[in-house]
């Protein structure tokens, strides 16, 4: 039981890292490119929008998966 909680916590930490921290760093870099470089503005905006779309998709998929498994393993 304790091992399952540790694994669950580690999975949550990885999810937070992949969904919030890493995209945030990339988004900050892309915003800097958008503000400073005229030629790279359009590709940077496209990358930023794709990053936002990927993050939202990951959250939706995670929500659907967790709602499907919510009642299957009672304690």
- What pLDDT sits at residue 37? 84
Closest by CA to 53, choosing from 19, 28, 22, 21, is: 19
pTM of this prediction?
Answer: 0.56
Q: At what angle do helices 41-68 and 22-36 cross, to 10 degrees?
A: 160
Other Cβ atoms less than 10 A from the Cβ of 27: the count is 15
Q: pLDDT tens across 8-41, in order? A: 888 888 878 877 787 778 888 888 888 888 888 8
Closest by CA to 60, choosing from 19, 11, 10, 8, is: 19
């Amino acid at each position: 039981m304790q091992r399952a909680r540790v694994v669950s916590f580690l999975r949550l930490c990885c999810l937070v890292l992949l969904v919030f921290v890493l995209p945030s760093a990339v988004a900050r870099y892309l915003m800097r490119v958008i503000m400073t470089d005229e030629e790279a503005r359009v590709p940077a905006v496209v990358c930023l929008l794709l990053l936002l779309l990927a993050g939202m998709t990951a959250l939706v998929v995670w929500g659907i998966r967790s709602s499907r498994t919510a009642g299957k393993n009672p304690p």
